Amino acid sequence: MTKKQTEERIEEGHRELLEIIPDIVYRLDTEGCFTFVNNHIKLLGYKPKELLGKHFSELLHPDEVEKVSRSNVVKKLKGSDMGGRNSPQLFDERRSGRRMTKWLEIGLVPKKWKTAEKRKGTISEAPSIVGEVAATGIYEESTTGKGRKHFVGSVGIIRDITERKKIEEEKKRLEQQYIQAQRLESIGLIASGIAHDFKNLLTIAFGYIEIARERCLCNEKITKSMEKAMNALVRCQNLTQQLLSFSRTKKPIRKVASISDIFKKSSQLVLSGSNIECSYVVENEIWSVEVDESQITQVIENVLINAWHAMPEGGTIDIAICNKSVKPEDNLPLKSGKYVEVTVVDHGIGISKEDLPLVFDPFFTTKQDGSGLGLATSYSIMSKHEGIITAESLEGQGASFRLYLPAASKKRSTEAGKSKK
């Protein structure tokens, strides 16, 4: 066998090996353009030949470009011609002592979404595939000698870690949910003890003020002061009752019901006489739910009161009710299955980025006279119903609360369409 034949066989063996590796293997020139890519690029819907001569950024979601290339790659993606010596390079290994890139996570966009970008401009909404990149620079002896080397390109591997990232995110969500449940339970025990003692003290205070008031009926000033003290004690009593309700959220006593009917009844009671109205959009044939109606009414009232307070000038609360089949890919901390989803949207002041993660924490409130227990209690009730409540908001642009409740086995016909009440 000649030397040339041996080299050809070795090269063929290398190529076969590259096709066996279950990752995308590539080589780039000094300008960051593909000179080789193996068949596993089909993960993104490409054939190897399609990418030869194209820049690596062809594979990237626009949000990821800054991670892996110089800033002028952004200009190139927008159509500017950056040819020649000024072309952007993927990794600048020459500036790092290791001359390599390891464990870099990037968002990759399938070819079909690139096509959609040209047609509709929807690339920013593309569901990314998460890739993990390991790459190294290629250096060759300089023609000038003296042991100097010059950069001739890069070789690298991209591993699809999308499923791994989903598992990690799901694990993180479950851990956060567990921590929240533990916090609620711990605070509930503390609140229960404090509330019981405080309730006993209030009973004594009520008794003494009532006796004092009866003895001073002839003195109008003292009587008014006693009434103010009594009103303050009533507020304390209400707060104590909220603490007890929070700590005693019992196991739901469930029955099949229509969430639409519960919502409409609750909104009429809560918002009666206010400058707020509710607009409903209800899907056809909403599934019934199996709930403790009094507990779910409490959740609804808390959400509606928050929406009301967010719109002091008045306005409309938009309520949408629909059926939702939850799947693992929905990334919701729920078991797969059928749920009824209720979205409550106000058009008020919104919730700041800093406050949003805290809205379901016990005793957190931005209101001067708030207890911070309403949404915390709602969160606890929804958890006991195997459902969840979530919040989304941008400061100054209103807030959106979503309630997910498991559907009952029996269906119940509900009037659909739009209505205002």
Question: Residue 413 — pLDDT band, cuts 50, 70, 90?
Answer: very low
What pairs with residue 149 in β-bridges?
A: 141
Query: Do 288 and 221 reside in the same domain of the chain?
Result: no
Q: How many CB atoms lie within 10 A of CB 280?
A: 20
| Res. 389 pLDDT band, cuts 50 70 90 | very high
Q: What is the pLDDT of residues 165-208, one digit of tens each?
A: 888 877 777 677 667 666 666 666 666 666 666 777 777 787 87
Do residues 136 and 198 both lie within one domain?
no
pLDDT at 158: 92
For residues 207-215, average pLDDT: 79
Q: What is the mean pLDDT of residues 391-396?
A: 86
Question: Both 144 and 167 in a single domain?
Answer: no
* Count of structural domains within the chain: 3
Tell which wins on pLDDT, 266 or 3: 266
CA angle 170, 175, 181 (to 5 degrees): 125
Residue among 188, 167, 192, 347 nearest 275 (CA): 347
Please say if the pLDDT value at position 96 is more than 80. Answer: no
Residue where one domain finishes, among candidates 160, 194, 209: 160
pLDDT at residue 287 in the model: 94
Residue range 32-51: average pLDDT? 90
Average pLDDT, the chain: 76
| Boundaries of domain holding 220 | 162-248
Same domain, 222 and 289: no
Kindly state the average pLDDT of the residues 150-164. 86
Higher pLDDT, 76 or 173: 173
pLDDT band at residue 97 under the 50/70/90 scheme: very low
CATH number, residue 300: 3.30.565.10
Domain boundary among 201, 229, 248: 248
Task: Give the pLDDT of residue 253.
Answer: 80
Task: Among 133, 160, 187, give the residue marking a domain's end.
Answer: 160
Q: Are residues 81 and 142 in the same domain?
A: yes
Could you tell me if 136 and 17 lie in one domain?
yes
pLDDT of residue 78: 43
What pLDDT was estimated at residue 126? 56
Same domain membership, residue 212 and residue 260: no
One domain, residues 142 and 170: no
The pLDDT value recorded for residue 381 is 87
How far is residue 87's CA from residue 80's CA, in Å, rounded to a whole number? Answer: 11
Q: Which of 34-38, 104-108, 308-312, 334-338 has the lowest mean pLDDT?
A: 104-108
Which range (76-85, 259-268, 320-329) has the least confidence?
76-85
The CATH number given to whatever domain includes residue 175 is 1.10.287
Question: What does the pLDDT read at residue 166?
Answer: 81
Say if residues 136 and 155 touch (Cβ distance below 8 Å): yes
Q: Of 412 and 239, which is predicted with more confidence? A: 239
- Phi, psi (deg, nearest 5) at residue 394: -125, 130
pLDDT higher than 70, residue 270: yes
Q: How far is Cα 364 from Cα 353, in angstroms, rounded to an integer?
A: 15
Let me know whether 323 and 363 are in one domain.
yes
Question: Does 39 share its domain with 87?
Answer: yes
Percent of the chain with pLDDT over 90: 20
Pairwise pLDDT comparison (419 vs 223), residue with the higher score: 223
Segment 353-383, tens digit of pLDDT: 888 888 887 777 777 666 667 788 888 889 8
Is the per-residue pLDDT at 298 higher than 80? Answer: yes
Nearest to 153 by CA among 172, 138, 142, 140: 138
Q: Which one is predicted more confidently, 208 or 415?
A: 208
The CATH number covering residue 60 comes to 3.30.450.20
- pLDDT, average across residues 295-313: 89
Domain shared by 231 and 342, yes or no = no
Q: Based on the domain organization, do 150 and 199 belong to the same domain?
A: no
The residue among 92 and 380 whose pLDDT is bigger is 380
- 3-state helix/strand/coil string of the chain: CCHHHHHHHHHHHHHHHHHHCCCEEEEECCCCEEEEECHHHHHHCCCHHHHECCEHHHHECHHHHHHHCCCHHHHHHCCCCCCHHHCCCCCCHHHCCCCEEEEEEEEECCHHHHHHHHHHCCHHHCCCEEEEEEEEEEEEECCCCCCCEEEEEEEEEEEECHHHHHHHHHHHHHHHHHHHHHHHHHHHHHHHHHHHHHHHHHHHHHHHHHHHHHHCCCCHHHHHHHHHHHHHHHHHHHHHHHHHHHHCCCCCCCEEECHHHHHHHHHHHHCCCCCEEEEEEECCCCEEEEECHHHHHHHHHHHHHHHHHHCCCCEEEEEEEEEEEECHHHCCCCCCEEEEEEEEECCCCCCCCCCHHHCCCCCCCCCCCCCCCHHHHHHHHHHHCCCEEEEEECCCCCEEEEEEEEEEEEECCCCCEEEEC
- In the predicted model, is pLDDT for residue 70 greater than 60? no
pLDDT in tens, 326-353: 988 787 888 889 999 999 999 998 888 8
- The mean pLDDT of 43-66, rounded to a whole number, is 84
